[in-house]
Amino acid sequence: MSVNERVVIVGVSGASSSGKTTVSKVLHSLFPNSVLIHQDDFYLPDEDIPFDNTVQDLNWDCVEAINFEQLSKVLTNFKTIPGFVYSKATKENDDFNKSLSKQTDASIREKISEKLSSVSTNVKFVFLDGFLLYQNEQLAHLFDVKLFFKTDFQTLKQRRDNREYVIDNGVWVDPPNYFENLVWKEYYKNHNFLFVDGDNEENVKLNKNDLNSKAKSLGIKGFNNDNDCIFDDLLNDVVSYILDQI
């Protein structure tokens, strides 16, 4: 961060396979002077990941699996240390690969350029892609913009079933029923407080619940990203929202 540079930290969150990583990568490609960080690169070592007795396997989806202290320190460094550089080979992969049309890509870039040229300071964007961003108070208060992508249960499961994960000891593929019995369970447990009637799990599964007043008071902006979502329209709305916060 230079003397005349403002750092804007953008949280890009949602359930596993909600498309947040794809959105993050596209945002990183669109915004000049931006950095992309993946929460998945801040897991604790494999031997420290909690074991889940229901699935008889490691639980990568609980809050205890993430090194929030280290992640918060990295974000704080962007805010407080001029010229701070973060570089790490990521293990993150993506199961929701979509791209913008050339026309939309060009129009969004023009919109970003016009907005940034109108502000008095240089702006550096730090995009953090993660599935557990707004539960940890130490981390949550560091965001200038908080995005949250909502998707229905069946879409999440379908995308997740087609996915592999790179871990310290090789490649991870979900065992049978891992999504239902662990991934969704942890997502719902850690996010139901954000939804209107969040205690109605079936409606949350169907993506029928809007974000509630608690989520809005925390500054979280929700976006639907089911399979019928038009990606160009989604990114246009997301970029417009980010620019409105500057």
pLDDT of residue 203: 96
Lowest mean pLDDT among 85-89, 105-109, 143-147, 153-157: 85-89
pLDDT of residue 93: 58
Contact 190, 68 (CB under 8 A): no
pLDDT of residue 89: 64
| Domain 5-244, CATH class in plain words | alpha beta
pLDDT of residue 238: 99
* pLDDT tens profile 193-208: 999 999 999 999 999 9
Q: Catalytic residue, from 40, 52, 129, 174: name it.
A: 40
Contact 121, 1 (CB under 8 A): no
**Known catalytic membership, residue 226:** no
Q: How many Å apart are CA 179 and CA 168, to the nearest integer?
A: 21
pLDDT of residue 170: 74
The DSSP-derived string for 41-68 is GGBPPGGGSPEETTTTEE-TTSGGGB-H
One-letter amino acid at 50 equals P
Cα-flanking dihedrals φ and ψ of residue 65, to 5°? Answer: -90, -10
pLDDT of residue 172: 73
How far lies 181's CA from each of 19, 52, 56, 57, 225, in Å?
A: 21, 10, 11, 11, 23
Q: How many Å apart are CA 173 and CA 95, to the nearest integer?
A: 13
* pLDDT tens profile 134-177: 999 999 999 999 999 999 999 999 999 887 766 666 777 788 88
How many other CB atoms are found less than 10 A from the CB of residue 83? 7
